[in-house]
């Protein structure tokens, strides 16, 4: 069994896919990171994955547009829904002084879920939308992103890529949850 998910290792979608695999009690399954919703849907249609895990809606930022667009007019059905609590963290390179940060990069959903907290504590950072929260962390760690950039991602992703956490709980609401769907091709 292959489960594709939007995002990469360390992303919230990766956590959701792991939960789904655990729920199925699937020990020999494989998780396949596919970065975005469109890629997950394409792999489902081509029967290259058995299931797809997609973020559908967030309690703070609303509908995940990229998923809505990817699923539009597709012969795919949602088999199950579940909520995952989302706690955003802000990470930077260890070598970058805090006062030199100029940009913040992350998925558009994470940017929307952290507006008020960032305005209060990290005012003036230029926002940069990225395909995935964990991919932003990986690209910062690999110096693909400018060293004056910080990223919004999960604690798991920031630690996985060796970044320094500068703020935990960046989300504007404590009850910040994302509803994930488990999708399968309609046979």
Is 19's pLDDT higher than 80? yes
User: Taking a C-beta distance cutoff of 8 angstroms, is the pair 73, 138 a contact?
Assistant: no
Tokens of 90: 């802000």
Please give the distance of CA 25 from its chain centroid, rounded to a whole number: 24
**Same domain, yes or no, for 9 and 55?**
yes
**Same domain, yes or no, for 149 and 73?**
no
Q: What is the mean pLDDT of the chain?
A: 95
Is 168's pLDDT higher than 90? yes
**What does the pLDDT read at residue 26?**
73
Give the tens place of pLDDT for each residue, 111-164. 999 999 999 999 999 999 999 999 999 999 999 999 999 999 999 999 999 999
DSSP state of 163: P
Percent of the chain's residues with pLDDT above 70: 100
**What does the pLDDT read at residue 8?**
96
Tokens of 120: 């209060």
Q: From CA 88, how far away is CA 69, in angstroms rounded? A: 25
**Same domain, yes or no, for 64 and 113?**
no
**Same domain, yes or no, for 44 and 93?**
no
pLDDT average, residue stretch 168-175: 95
**What does the pLDDT read at residue 22?**
87
Helices then strands (H, E): number in the chain?
A: 7, 11
Give the tens place of pLDDT for each residue, 25-78. 777 889 999 999 999 999 999 999 999 999 999 999 999 999 999 999 999 999
Q: From CA 66, how far away is CA 72, in angstroms rounded? A: 10
Report CA torsion sign: 185, 133, 127, 167: positive
* pTM for the predicted model, two decimal places: 0.92
Q: From CA 1, how far away is CA 101, in angstroms rounded? A: 43
**Same domain, yes or no, for 78 and 7?**
yes
List, in sequence order, every residue forming a beta bridge with 145; answer none if it has no partner.
Answer: none
**Same domain, yes or no, for 108 and 60?**
no
**What is the three-class DSSP state of 88?**
coil
User: Mind giving me the DSSP string for 127-160?
Assistant: EEE-S-HHHHHHHHHTTSS-TTEEEEE-HHHHHH
Q: From CA 165, how far away is CA 76, in angstroms rounded? A: 39
pLDDT average, residue stretch 91-98: 97
User: Residue 139: which residues within 8 A CB-CB, separation 6 or more?
Assistant: 105, 130, 145
User: Taking a C-beta distance cutoff of 8 angstroms, is the pair 12, 55 a contact?
Assistant: yes
Provide the domain limits for residue 127: 89-168
CATH, residue 81: 3.40.190.10
**Same domain, yes or no, for 181 and 145?**
no
**What does the pLDDT read at residue 23?**
84
DSSP state of 87: -
pLDDT average, residue stretch 1-20: 94
**Same domain, yes or no, for 31 and 49?**
yes
């Amino acid at each position: 069994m292959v489960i594709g998910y939007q995002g990469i290792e360390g992303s919230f979608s990766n956590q959701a896919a792991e939960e789904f695999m655990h729920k199925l009690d699937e020990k020999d399954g494989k998780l396949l990171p596919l970065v975005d919703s469109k890629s997950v849907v394409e792999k489902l249609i081509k029967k290259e994955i058995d299931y797809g895990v997609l973020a559908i809606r967030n309690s703070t930022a609303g509908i995940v547009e990229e998923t809505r667009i990817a699923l539009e007019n597709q012969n795919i059905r949602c088999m199950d829904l579940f909520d995952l609590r989302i706690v955003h963290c802000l990470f930077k390179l260890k070598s970058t002084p805090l006062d030199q940060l100029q940009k913040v990069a992350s998925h558009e959903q994470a940017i929307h879920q952290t507006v008020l907290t960032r305005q209060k504590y990290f005012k003036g950072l230029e926002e940069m939308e990225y395909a995935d929260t964990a991919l932003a962390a990986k690209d910062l760690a690999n110096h693909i992103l400018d060293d004056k950039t910080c990223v919004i991602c999960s604690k798991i992703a920031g630690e996985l890529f060796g970044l320094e956490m500068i703020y935990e709980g960046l989300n504007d609401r404590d009850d910040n949850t994302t509803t994930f769907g488990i999708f399968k091709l309609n046979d």
